[in-house]
Structure 1
Amino acid sequence: MCRNTVGDIPLDCCYKIYDEYNDEEAELIKKERMLIHRLLKGEAPHADFDPYAPYVDYFIWDDARHPLSSAPEPKRRFIPSQLEAKMVANYVRAIREGGFINFHKPEEEPTLYLLWADDDSTSDQKSKQLTCMPPPKLKFPGHEESYNPCLELIPTEEEKASYELMHEEDRPKFIPKRFTTLRSIPAYANALKESFDRCLDLLLCPRVRKKRINIDPESLKPKLPSRNDLRPYPDSCYLEYKGHTGKVTTISTDCYGQWIASGSTDGSVRIWEVETGRCLKIWHFDEAIKCVAWNPLPGLSILAVAMGRDLVILNTELDTDEEQKYIEELLHLGNVIEPKASVAAIARWLPDGRYGGIMIRHFKNVSSIDWHRKGDYLSTLDSHGIRRNTRCCNSSNLEKAYTKALQDPWTSSDCSFSSQPFILVHRDKKERACLQSVKGR
C-alpha cells in the first residue's frame, strides 16, 4: 500500500528503481540517495573523503644510506639503437634522391593584373606605375573666411595699414570683413587672380614621380669587429695599488721589474711590490709630484723625483749592504765641483736633509725626467720647454759635477737619450730633433 498520497500519485514512487538483475523494484534508502546526489554534483562518493588532504610521505629519507634500486644498467643503453639507425638511413636515402629536401628554389611566376578590372588593388597597382603625379587639390574654405565674423577678428585701420607695409609673402591673403546679410556679399575680388596663379603653377611646375632610394639606417653604421677577434686585450683587473689620496700623475718601474714607484698630487711618492701590491716605502713632499724615474743601472736603486722647481734624488734602500754603502757615497756632496756662475744661476745642488738625498733646484718648474742608459746622466725639461742636461753621478770615479745647461724653446715635453751621443726631443712639426751631443759618450 502506498502511503502519503496526494491524489493518485504516490510519493514513494520517486525513490524506487527497477532492478533488472532480480526483476523487482527496489526502494532507495536515504544513504543511497545522498550518494547519488554527490555523484551528480561531481563530488566524492563518501562525505568523509578529503581530496585536498596534506600529502604524507611514507618513505623515511633521513637515514637513507643506500639507493632504492641498485640494479646495474641494462646492456641496451650501451648499444646503438637499431631503430634510430634505420631512421637515419631513410633520411640519408631521401636526401640523396631529392625527395626530403629540395635545394632548388621554385620559379617565381610573373605577377599579372587585370587591365579592365574594377578591383581597387589593380587600379592602385596600375597608378603606381605612372610617372606623372596628380595635381594638388584646392584648399577648402575654412572658418576664417566667414561673412559675419566676430568683432574681435575684424582688423582695425591701423592693422590694415601695417599689412600694406609687410612683404607680399608675409602679408595675410584674406582680410576678414563683416556683412550683415548673405545677399550683401559681393563677388570675390581675387578669384580670377588665384585661378590664374594656380594654372601657371601647374604649367611651369613639373610633376614627375621620382624613385627614392630606401636605405636601411642600420646598414650605414660601420660593422664593428667581434670582441673575440680583438683578443688578447685586458678584460679584468688583476691587481690594484691603493694608498694615494690624490690623482696619480706618474709611475716608473725599476730595471728588474720587481718594484714600481708612483707619484701623486697629494705630494707623496710610494714604492710598491709589483707582484703583491704591497706598499714598501712612502716619502711625503710639500708639492704635487710631477714625474718619477728609476735609475736604469742594475744594483743602483736610485729614484729621481720632480716636484715644482726641485729635483730630488732618493736612496730607496732596496739593495744589499755593500750596494747601500756605494749609493751613500754617490749621494754624498763632499766632492762637488763648483760650477760656473752662468750654470749656478740655472741649477743648484743642495743636500736633502729630510730623506738624505740630493736636491737640484732649478729656476723654473721641472716637467720631465730622463736617465741615460748607463745611469750616470740625468736630463730634465722644465715647463717652459727649456732642456737641461745635468751630470749627477759618475760610477767610475765617484765624483759629482755640473755640465753645461742647454736652452732651446722646445714646445713638447717628451725627450730622451739616444743610443748615439745625442739627446733626442720631440717637436710639433718634426718628429725628432738632435739637440746637442754629449761629450765622452
Structure 2
Amino acid sequence: MGRRRWALNTEEILKQSRNFDDYDSDDEEDLRNTIGNVPVKWYDGEEHAGYDHDGNRISKPPKKSEIETFMEKMEDPDYWRKVLDVQTGCDAVLTDEQVDVINALNQGRYPTVGYNPYQPFVDLYSSQKEIHPMTNNPESKQSFTPSLDERRIVGRMVYAFKMGWIKPKKPKEAEKQIYDIWAEEDSERKTKSELARIRMHFPAPKVPLPGHSESYNPPPEYLFSEDEHKSWQETEPELRRQNFVPQKYNCLRHVPAYELFFNERFERCLDLFLAPRKQKMKLNVDPSDLLPDLPNPADLRPFPTTFAFAMKGHNAQVRCMCFEPQKSEILVSGGIDGTCRFWSIGNGRCMRVETLGSPVTSVQYCPKTDITLVAAATEDCKIHLFSSMCGDRLLNASTRDYLFSLDCGTAKNDHIQWTRDPNTGHIVLTLSNAIRQVTWHAKGDYFASVAAVRQPDSLVIHQLSKCNSQVPFSRSKGTIINVLFHPQKPHLFVSTQRHIRIYDLAKCQQVKKVLIGTRWLGCMELDPSGNNLFVGGLDRVFAWIDLQLSAKPWKTLIHHSAAIRDIAYHRRSFCIPNTFPFPSGHCVCRKLY
C-alpha cells in the first residue's frame, strides 16, 4: 500500500513538471531586450536600443513628428493608455487593471484593488464581543521598582565605557561619488516658465550688520551727550540717523528686552512683501568713453622735441648727474670711471674733469648761490667736497676760501673723519659704509648721506660750517632707500621699502607716516613748497601725495613699462619727467593739473 501511494505521488509530480508552461509569465515573453539592469540612457546616442536573445541589434522605431503625434492623439481612442517602453522604444497599452492600480496610487490608496486594511478582529478568548477587559487587577508596587539586575548590567556597561573597554563605532567614511564627467549638469528638461523663474530670481537684500553703537558696552564716543540726545528727540523719526539711543551696560545679563524688536521685524516683512525687485540692466558703455580726454601735446610746450647734441667723455656708465642751482648752465655727472665731469649746457663741451679715484655713486650741487660747492659720494666710503671751478671766477674764489676756512679738526664723531686733502684742497669725509645718496638742505649748511645697509648709522646728517656729523637714529626701522629735506620746514623725509616717515628735526620726533601706494619704493621728490610729494616705485607705480590733504596717495598712475628709477620736478612748467632703468634710458614727461 505504501509503495503504491509513493508511485502515485511520483506520477503526479511528473505531470506537474510537464506542465511548466502553465507557470510561464507573458511579461517575460515580451522582454526581447537583453541589455540587463543598465541605464537605458547609455543608448541615447546609438541607433539601436539593445540586443535580443540571438544577439541581434534591436533597432529603434522611427521618431514621430509633431503632426503625426497630434493626429494619433486625435484619432486613437486608446492614446491615453499608451506609455513609452524604455526597453524597446515602442508604446505599450495599459490594461484596465493597470489603470486601476495607477489611479489608486495617485489617490494615495493601496495598489491592490478591493484590499481592506481594517479586517474584523478575531477574538481569541471569546466568540462574543465583550465591553470589559478580561482582567482588571491593578499594577503591583513591585512593577514600579527599578530592577536590581538591570541596574547592575547598566553599571557594568558604564564602567566599561569609562575604562575604554567598550569603544563607540567609528563613523563610516563617506564613499566617493563617481559620476560621468561628460554628462549634462541637469539631465531633466525644464519648461520655459521654469527656466525664466530660475533666471529672474532676485534674492532679498540682507539685513545690515550691527555696528559698534548697537553693542551693549559701546565705546564712549558712541554714547549720546545731553545735547545730542535732545537733538535726537527733536528730529523727526524719518530723518534720524539711527532709530535707537546707544546705551551702556556692565554685563550682558543686565540688557533688557529690545522694545522695538517687533516693529523692526514688521518693517522688514513689509519691505520684503511690498518693495518690488527689478532687474537692473547694465549699461553698454564703451571703455574708451570712460577715459579722460588727453590734452593736446602742443599745450604742454615748452619741452624738448629734437635731439641737440650728446655729451661724450665718460669711459664707463654714468650713475648720477646734477645741475648747478643758480642758472642751470652747468651740468655735473659722475660715473663708474671714478671721475666727475662738468659740462656746458649751451654747447655740450666738457669744461673740467675731477678725478676721485673710485666709482661715483651720487653727486649734488650745494643750493647756496654764493658758492660753487659740489658734494660727491664714492664707493670707497668717502664724500668729497670741492669747488666746481667753473663759471664765475669770483664765486670760485669765494668757494675755495670758504673751504680753507673750515676747521676739520673739530669733528666730534669718532666713526666719521673730516680731513683735508693737501694736494687738491678737497674736504673728505670717511664713513664706515658705502654711500648711496647725498642730499643737501635748502640753506646749504646741512647735508645728509644714506648708506646701502640696514644699520642705525646708515643715515648721517652733516653740518658743513662746524665740520660735525651725527647719527639721528639709535635703531633701524628698515633699509633706508633715500632721504629728502623739506625746503621750508625743519622736516626730514626718510623712505623705506613701503613707507615714508617724516621727522621733525627741531623736536626730534616723528610727525607723520605716509603710505606710498607702491610695493617697492624707488625714488621720491618734493615740489618747491614742500606740500606735494611724488613717489616712483619699482613696480611701475607713480604716486602723487598731497601732504596737506592726506597721508595716502591722491593720484596713482601706472603708465610705465618698466621700473621708475628717478623723478625730477620742473620749477616753472609743473612737469615731472620719470626715467626708466638702464639700458633703455627712456623718459616720460607728465604735466600736473
Greater relative contact order structure (CA < 8 Å, 6+ sep) = 1
Question: Which structure would you say has the larger Rg?
Answer: 1
| TM-score between both structures, scaled by the size of structure 2 | 0.36
